[in-house]
Structure 1
Amino acid sequence: MPELTPETIFTFTKFSVYLIMSWPSENETTKNGNIIFNIKWWILWMNSILFIAFCVYGAYGDRQDVLSCTEILFIITAVIQYPIKMLICRIIREQMQFVVNEMECHIHSAEPSKRIILSNYLKKPGVVYVLYHFVACLGFLGMVLAAFILQEPLPVKIRYPFSIDTRLVFIFVYFQQFIFGIQAITTTSIDSQIALMLWYVVARLRILQEQMRKISNMYEFRKCIQQHQYILRLADEVISVGKYILATTVVMSTLSLILGAILIVKAHQMTVRLKFSINVVTVSATLFMSAWPSEMLISSVSSATNYYIRKILWNITRQIIFSNIFSQESNKLALCLHQILIIVVLQINIYLLDE
């Protein structure tokens, strides 16, 4: 099995979000690259809108059949995330470009000791995200196979405003459903991308903690504080990039779980229950995948960094105080008392910030 390096994880994520076009590339900054990007973006986005419009029409047409209508609504809550997230990524593209460039540059130029920490923090979620995408693909494959087993003509059974009996129209509809099914899988990939950004910030904070262990003077302490402030600004950028995407995920996933549970309980055919059970597991994994790095960033690593700042600040100031106490000069005593007062005030301020 090949080694799972940060570059490998980035490459996999970049490939998985290709159809949602949320990973900016340098080629898009040129005039021709920007034109190609806009053409691809509008084709993919309009294809998703067209499919969702057909689903809404089908749900309205089957409103008398509760199970059929619920099944289509479940599909709508899952697939409507694609055009919403795609539009969000287009709006925040410059911020996304900044974060992605920062990640790639830091990974390529990281020292061996830093790469070890980055690998440790990205390897475990990287494996989870690969398995997660496998489950998402399995859910899509389950819908295709279920249609084949149940002898249904299309993977998604919806009512169209026109006849699909002719061969050409049927091929177009089937191809459109199949293509958008692949597009819908990439909806989960954008959540992986945001989670990867959060894990990157967690790893950067962990690297900073290791640097703080080796601080021996105020100059090194000042450099670590500056780096800590930069990482906090980077975290703000990641949060600004991901908050609307994650909010969309939470709202739509909650609706999908409710509708999926209804279908699992009420459906009569075992194949239908199995199909939506896989989809419900995929939706649950999406929520877990988004919450995991967020919890690590908020509760664990950031609090540990503040602890190191307090500890180092106290150790450095204590050395200065003790050196002044044992000094032979009488005017050092007043300076020592002044320094004690400063460190007490700093400790109180940091404690209040933690609260």
Structure 2
Amino acid sequence: MHMIMQKKITLRKTIAIVKLSLFVIWFWPLPQDASKRKVLCMKLYQYITLLLMIAVLASMVYALVRNLDDLELVVKSSLGIFPCSHVIWNILCRIVIYQRLQCVTFQMENFCASINAYEEAIIQRDYIDKCVNFYGFCITSFYTSLFALFVGPILQDEPLPAPADFPFDASRQPLRAITYIHQIVCGLYIAAHLCVNASMALLLWLASARFKLLIEDLRKITNIYDFMKCIEKHQQLLEYAKEITFVVRPFALGTVFFSTVSLIVFGLIFITGVSLGLKIQCVFLAVSALLEVFMYAWPAEHLIHISNNIAQIAFETNWYDESENFRRNLQMIILRSQKPILVTLPCGLPSLSLHYYASYLSTIFSYFTTMRMMFEEQK
């Protein structure tokens, strides 16, 4: 029964689900032939979203500055500041690289619309069935966490979902209702922007899938003409993968940076005297932050290996029975495949991979251990 349900999530449904998860922030690029009016509405919506997030961020920073002597409120404000900053970063990145994001998304959709049943079966078996549970769990958890935001003020008898302060009296109606709705809407934006990680991972996974299909084509070549088509397809794929890594980089950098800062803050919370409820909340948030980074590291690792595998598969062809021209072309494709496709982070940070993720976890635990030792020495 589980396998039947899993197979129902096809490639097209996967794209539709990711697209739906980004609906509230209008993140998925418009078609290249979209009308100017639609483009204008999208840009206006993005700027309105940006202003709303800046407003809620300013209110939390204001509360933080005014209540530096209240450790519990400082911690709660910090927990809200980082996701809001992450959303603002994502919006600014999207505005800057929108044309490139639109181009790679358009190519991805075209590829998915043009594949045949055999190719779709390979992608279903090697990618969708293996990844759908993890990314589906992440998207679901991001949105279900909103439920806590809704019911939090009711259960804890607090005026607003997130700690905030204003230079005016926000406890009176209708200002209280407006502020409450504003924070709920921004919480929805945060959940949707966390799903941006899934959309970037989708680009990386489908780039890997195209290399996988190229490997299958290389295994089936029977003449020089098929081989020349594979060389041309390989060159196009390298350019496409390079463009995807450029698009993914700023969003991955934002996720790594804000997740790292959040995890450090969570570590500080555990060694200070805050309430047990807040510590439990931080455990769930820390797991979420670690999942966000893993959402990039996993497909980035696979892209490294699958792009390198092209050289091995090309070498396994019957090149020794072919002409000198065939061998020269084969040598070119092997040389180009020996340089892996990396999702390199800016600012001198290492490339994303599972090895990087392991070192990332090790570094985070080292920071936490160091902070705990310093705290115990000061007692």
Q: TM-score, normalised by structure 1?
A: 0.87
Q: Is the 8 A contact 1:143 1:275 kept in 2?
A: no
Partners of 2:178 and 2:260 in 1: CA distance: 32
Partners of 1:255 and 1:290 in 2: CA distance: 17
Q: Which has the larger radius of gyration?
A: 1
Aligned partner of 1:14 in structure 2 is 19
Structure showing greater relative contact order (alpha-carbon pairs closer than 8 Å, 6 or more residues apart): 1
Written as runs of structure 1 = structure 2, the 5 A alignment for 1:93-132 is: 93-120=98-125, 121-132=127-138
**Alignment of 1:204 onto 2:210:** yes
Q: 2:29 is paired with a residue of what secondary structure?
A: coil
Aligned partner of 2:356 in structure 1 is none
**Alignment of 1:23 onto 2:23:** no
Q: Give per-residue Cα distances to partners, 1:117-176, cap 9 Å, x unaligned.
A: 222313332322121022222333234433322211111122222211211110011010
Q: Give per-residue Cα distances to partners, 1:57-106, cap 9 Å, x unaligned.
A: 11111222234213212221122111211121122111111111111111
Q: Is the 8 A contact 1:122 1:199 kept in 2?
A: no
Q: TM-score, normalised by structure 2?
A: 0.81
Aligned partner of 1:272 in structure 2 is 278
Q: 2:24 is paired with a residue of what secondary structure?
A: coil
Q: 1:143 to 1:28 in 2, by over 3 A?
A: farther
Gaps of 5+ in 1: 322-338
Partners of 1:232 and 1:11 in 2: CA distance: 26
Aligned partner of 1:76 in structure 2 is 81
- Relative to its length, the structure with more helix (as a share) is 1
Aligned partner of 1:135 in structure 2 is 141
Amino acid at match of 2:18: T
How many residues align? The count is 333
Q: Is the 8 A contact 2:311 2:333 kept in 1?
A: no
Q: 1:154 is paired with a residue of what secondary structure?
A: coil
Partners of 2:188 and 2:313 in 1: CA distance: 46
**Alignment of 1:242 onto 2:248:** yes
Gaps of 5+ in 2: 341-379
Q: 1:177 to 1:248 in 2, by over 3 A?
A: same
Aligned partner of 2:288 in structure 1 is 282
Work out which of the residue numbers 316, 319, 322 in structure 1 matches 2:321.
319
The CA deviation at 1:270 is 3.0
Partners of 2:242 and 2:38 in 1: CA distance: 29
Q: Is the 8 A contact 1:147 1:153 kept in 2?
A: yes
The CA deviation at 1:247 is 0.5
Q: 1:224 to 1:71 in 2, by over 3 A?
A: same
The CA deviation at 1:20 is 2.8
The CA deviation at 1:285 is 0.7
Q: Is the 8 A contact 2:153 2:160 kept in 1?
A: yes
**Alignment of 1:350 onto 2:338:** no
Q: Is the 8 A contact 1:77 1:252 kept in 2?
A: yes
Counting aligned pairs with the same residue, the percent is 23
Amino acid at match of 1:18: F
